[in-house]
Amino acid sequence: MPAQGLDLLPIGIYMLRPDGGLTWANQTLLDTLGLATLEAATGRHLWDGDDEARRSFLGRVMEEDLIQGHEFAWQRPDGRTITLRESVRALRSPENEIVGFEGAIEEITEQRWAELSMRLARDLAVALTGAESTAEAFRVTLERCAAIADLAIAQAWVPSSDGQRLECAPAHYLADPALHIFRQISEGMTFRAGVGLPGRVWSTGEPTWLLDIENDANFPRAPAARELGITAGFAMPIHARDRLVAVLEFFVRGKAPPDERLAGVFHDAALQVGAFIQRKKAEEALRHALSLHEATLESTADGLLVVDLEGRIHSFNRRYVEMWRMPSTLLARGNDQETIDWIQEQVADPKGFLQRVRELREEPDATSFDVVELKDGRVFERVSHPQRIGSETTGRVWSFRDITERTRAVQQLTESELRHRLVLRSAIDAVIGMDHTGRVTEWNPAAERVFGHRRDDVMGRTLVELIVPERLRADYLKGLARYLATGEAPILGREIEMPGIRADGTEFPLEIAVTPIRTNGGPPSFTAFLRDISRRKQRETEIRQLNEELEARVRERTAQLEASKLELEAFSYSASHDLRAPLRALDGFTKILVDEHAANLPPDARHLVERVRHGTQQMTQLINSLLNLSRMGRQELQPSRFDLSEIARVVADDLKKQEPTRDVTITIDPGLYVHADPRLLRIALENLFGNAWKYTSKHPSARIEFGADMSDDELVFHLKDDGVGFDPSLAHQLFEPFRRLHSAKEYEGSGIGLATVKRIIERHGGRVWAQGQVEAGVTVYFTLPAPVATT
Amino acid sequence: MNTAGLLLVEDSPDDETLVIRALRRANVPAEVSVARDGVEALDLLFGPGALARPLPSLILLDLKMPRVDGFQVLERLRAEPRTRGVPVVVFSSSNEPGDVQRSYALGASSFVRKPVDFDEFATAVRLLGQYWLTLNLVPGLPVAEPTAAGLRVPPAPSG
């Protein structure tokens, strides 16, 4: 029998029958188990659960003789569930038969909760570290909590965007798919403060147990819970920086209500999550601030550099690097002095630049502004501001702005203004500027010269009173008014002529061009360019007079020509009559003299008389040729279509008949039809063939060819002989009347045959030309543009 | 034997001589009267005593003459019924187409250009005389019997 002293031990000791029933326990164990007396405890089984499990455990003890550290839960009569740890040993008889069991037991409930809490804290710490968002933090927390306490459902409620109610957050945990019905119902619900489990937690800010779901009046989801065997619930708030960010709720199925200590464990978790969310929010705010900071830095056109008080580079933007063309390695080292050295190399005044940097280091709170010129011609504006956190100066911000273009533009504007003035001053034209009311704002020296008004006298007066004659002023003012009203002005941008008046009142012709100048939508101003065109007008008049005189002279000359032509015709007529008459007499009387007085005349006299007759005949021929030539120009063309080859053949036959003894081969291309005046063409061919015949007469035999060939789309006729030819350098004289390339002694002729040919061809619109060499014959070419066809 | 009358209207004494010489050479039997310009010709034909004179069988008419030219004479001749049928041969230095055209338009019987070459001239005159004075019939005159001389074939022009 165990001694009374065993009751004083801090651990419980017991003995069991072989079937597990309690036979003895010390007082310590009885107190732990909540059993009043040994008698009440005798026969009780220590371990909960079914008989099967218990037998199986006893079996293990029998097998192993000793099991240490066996843990199990015990529900005390007062309802508390405690956790116990024991060591159990099998007791055997000398025959090795199980006679019972003995064991030592201690309560480890507090230890278990502490472990649980620690494990949860550790798990959460790990899980939350990896969590990217608040939503994930909720999910992780719900899962871990549910797992640790073997809960059925865990979900989170978060304030709606208007802050008026709680909505079911996406994060949740379900121990069993069958529970999703409860989840669905929850998702469809929202809770105002004080309503339902989440609403109650929201309004009180305290963790809340719901131990009797069945009978709770303020639990709208009770029917569903009942259906699913949910017996109890627990909800707790999560605060971040004193503001509720979520309510987590947990539900238990079927078992006895959970230990209240669970609330404590979860409360720690809630604090942990709250801290996490708070940190997360702070991080987000910081990230936002940083990105804003960076975006601001990079979106400015200025180059920015932030340096701390120790001269370390804190930050800079890309523009700063570009502006100073700085190597990235330099900035990466973060030493402000190195960047200053780099910059000094580039600025036009390194000492001045450095001086300013030093001054500002001495005075961390000073602000500065100046302009820095670079060696490459660029110009930067430099602004420096202290950087402060609260009232404490922590560094300095340098800002550089490239104002090269602006500076240049200003310079150019100045230059352009200067040039403009010079142009105005030296312009030959009068240049007058006006505002929109027509008042003079500019009056250059040429204007002084042209109008006789001095610049100082006219400024501010209206142009119309200065230069427009009285009678035209109304029109001028009307035009100006219309332009200002409608923007329409027929005279603007064009040169027009108008009368102007000088200071002395004299009027003179003026050329004027007015250009409107609009700037920035204001009323237009005008620039007028004016020129005194008196002299030009005078010259124009002179030219007109000269033209008129010239025309009169042309008319006179034409009349004279007409008269000459008539005279020429009269001459031709009289030549045909009067010149022939004496020749006829000469010829007739000499002939009669010879015929009737031959017997009385010595032979020499007869010879002389023959010479007279010969001369007469030559003169007759000459006169006839001349008449023909003049008639060529006077006669009207009577064109028809005929065979020129046929005419050529007739002409050639005539020649052969006249001198049948000559050996001349004449070939004529047949069927050369032309549209021309046949009488004139016959005369032309007579002359051409006649020439060919004549100029081949010194050769024992000769060839004459007449034909035509296409050349450049026109038919070119040719008459070719192999006679004496001519000196090609004299070819241009060939077609002139009375121009002879051979002496009359060698070849008789009037010298106007080819001139006649030329006139005939040209009257038909054709061309005639010749090629030849001395002793190599002549080819005369001609064209007849009238329709020509060969058959 | 009746001799036909020839009126030569010619202002040039040279041509007059040459015509008469040529007629004589050709043995054309003709009674030649000469008017030395248009005025004389018209006077002869229409002037006092003209009705008493027989009309010529041929008038050889020059065109270019002082005072009244050949065209005017021709016009007058053709205007008068009495002289309308008288053969008028224009015998001129001109061969201007205009002159030829105008002559026929005014009723010339023929137009012959005076050749410069005397042989040709003589031939022309002979042929004219033979035709107009011997072969050609005119109203108011008995039919002339061709004479041997009149029908003689003219000698070929020399040269």
Chain A residues within an 8 Å CB radius of B69: none
Chain B residues within an 8 Å CB radius of A589: 14, 18
Q: Inter-chain contact B117–A587, Cβ cutoff 8 Å? A: yes
Q: Inter-chain contact B14–A587, Cβ cutoff 8 Å? A: no
By C-alpha distance, the chain A residue nearest B15 is: A585
Which residues make Cβ contacts (< 8 Å) with residue A177, sequence separation at least 6?
A: none
Chain A residues within an 8 Å CB radius of B92: 577
Q: Inter-chain contact B118–A581, Cβ cutoff 8 Å? A: no
- Integer Cα distance of B93 and A627 in angstroms: 12
| Order of strands across the sheet that contains B4-9 | B30-35, B4-9, B58-61, B88-92, B110-113
Kindly report the number of other CB atoms within 10 A of residue A714's CB atom: 14
3-state secondary structure of A93: coil
**A584 closest CB neighbour out of B21, B96, B116:** B116
By C-alpha distance, the chain B residue nearest A617 is: B117
For the cut 60, the answer to whether the pLDDT of residue B150 exceeds it is: no
Q: Inter-chain contact A591–B15, Cβ cutoff 8 Å? A: no
DSSP state for residue A216 in the 8-state scheme: -
- Half-sphere exposure of residue A635: CA atoms within 13 angstroms, side-chain side: 20
Interface test with A, best of B93, B95, B121, B158 (most A CBs within 10 A): B93
Q: CA of A718, closest CA in chain B: separation in Å? A: 31
- Integer Cα distance of B100 and B63 in angstroms: 10
**B15 closest CB neighbour out of A576, A584, A617:** A584
Q: Inter-chain contact A580–B116, Cβ cutoff 8 Å? A: yes
Residue A48: its pLDDT value, please? 64
Q: Inter-chain contact A591–B12, Cβ cutoff 8 Å? A: no
Chain A residues within an 8 Å CB radius of B94: 573, 576-577
By C-alpha distance, the chain A residue nearest B20 is: A588
Q: Inter-chain contact B96–A584, Cβ cutoff 8 Å? A: no
Q: Are strands A66-75 and A778-783 parallel, antiparallel or unpaired?
A: unpaired
DSSP states of A104-124 = EEEE-HHHHHHHHHHHHHHHH
C-alpha distances in angstroms, A189 versus A220, A329, A423, B133? 10, 59, 85, 157
Chain A residues within an 8 Å CB radius of B120: none
Q: Inter-chain contact A580–B21, Cβ cutoff 8 Å? A: no
What amino acid occupies position B155? P
Chain A residues within an 8 Å CB radius of B117: 587, 617, 620
Q: CA of A550, closest CA in chain B: separation in Å? A: 37
List residues of chain B with CB under 8 Å from any CB of chain A.
12, 14-15, 17-18, 21, 63-64, 92-97, 114-119, 121
Residue B159: its pLDDT value, please? 39
Q: What angle is formed at CA A663 by the lines to CA A661 and CA A665, rounded to 5 degrees?
A: 130
By C-alpha distance, the chain B residue nearest A577 is: B93
Which residues make Cβ contacts (< 8 Å) with residue A517, sequence separation at least 6?
A: A524, A525, A526, A527
Interface test with B, best of A569, A571, A574, A576 (most B CBs within 10 A): A576
Show the DSSP H helices in A334-453 as ranges. 336-346, 350-362, 404-426, 445-451
**B93 closest CB neighbour out of A580, A588, A635:** A580
Residue A576: its pLDDT value, please? 65
Give the number of A-B residue pairs with CB atoms closer than 8 Å: 58
- Contact call for residues A234 and A210 (beta carbons, < 8 A): yes
**B12 closest CB neighbour out of A581, A590, A635:** A581
Smallest CA-to-CA distance from A216 within A237, A235, A244, A241 is with A235
Chain B residues within an 8 Å CB radius of A588: 14, 17-18, 21, 118, 121
**B14 closest CB neighbour out of A581, A590, A635:** A581
Q: Inter-chain contact B18–A620, Cβ cutoff 8 Å? A: no
**A588 closest CB neighbour out of B18, B64, B96:** B18
Helix (H) or strand (E) holding B30: strand B30-35
By C-alpha distance, the chain A residue nearest B92 is: A577
Which residues make Cβ contacts (< 8 Å) with residue A654, sequence separation at least 6?
A: none
By C-alpha distance, the chain A residue nearest B19 is: A588
Chain A residues within an 8 Å CB radius of B119: 591
Helix (H) or strand (E) holding A541: helix A534-574
Q: Are strands A243-253 and A153-159 parallel, antiparallel or unpaired?
A: antiparallel
Q: Are strands A714-721 and A379-389 parallel, antiparallel or unpaired?
A: unpaired
- Integer Cα distance of B157 and B49 in angstroms: 42
By C-alpha distance, the chain A residue nearest B64 is: A577
Chain B residues within an 8 Å CB radius of A592: 21, 118
A221: left (phi over 0), alpha (psi -120 to 50) or beta: alpha
Q: Inter-chain contact A591–B119, Cβ cutoff 8 Å? A: yes
By C-alpha distance, the chain B residue nearest A621 is: B116
Instruction: Give, to the nearest 10 degrees, the angle between helix A753-763 and helix A603-634.
Output: 10
Residue A788: its pLDDT value, please? 39
Residue A479's Cβ-count burial label (10 Å; 0-12, 13-18, 19+) is: middle
User: Per the structure block, which two tokens stand in for A169?
Assistant: 């957050």
User: Per the structure block, which two tokens stand in for A177?
Assistant: 């798919």
Interface test with B, best of A583, A587, A610 (most B CBs within 10 A): A587
Q: Are strands A243-253 and A81-92 parallel, antiparallel or unpaired?
A: unpaired
Residues paired with residue A511 on neighbouring β-strands, in sequence order: A497, A531
**A620 closest CB neighbour out of B18, B97, B116:** B116
Residue A644: its pLDDT value, please? 94
- Helices and strands (DSSP H and E) totals, chain A: 24, 29
Kindly report the number of other CB atoms within 10 A of residue A688's CB atom: 27
C-alpha distances in angstroms, A501 versus A76, A506, A534? 130, 5, 12
What amino acid occupies position A219? F
Mean pLDDT for each 10-residue chunk of chain A (791 residues)?
69 88 87 84 76 84 88 82 88 88 88 83 82 82 83 90 89 88 89 89 86 80 85 86 86 71 80 83 84 81 84 83 84 79 87 84 84 88 86 86 85 79 80 88 90 90 88 84 75 80 91 81 83 90 92 87 76 72 87 84 85 84 76 76 93 91 92 90 92 89 92 90 85 74 66 83 89 88 66 37
Q: Inter-chain contact A585–B15, Cβ cutoff 8 Å? A: yes
- Integer Cα distance of A187 and A199 in angstroms: 15
Q: CA of A721, closest CA in chain B: separation in Å? A: 28
Q: Inter-chain contact B14–A620, Cβ cutoff 8 Å? A: no
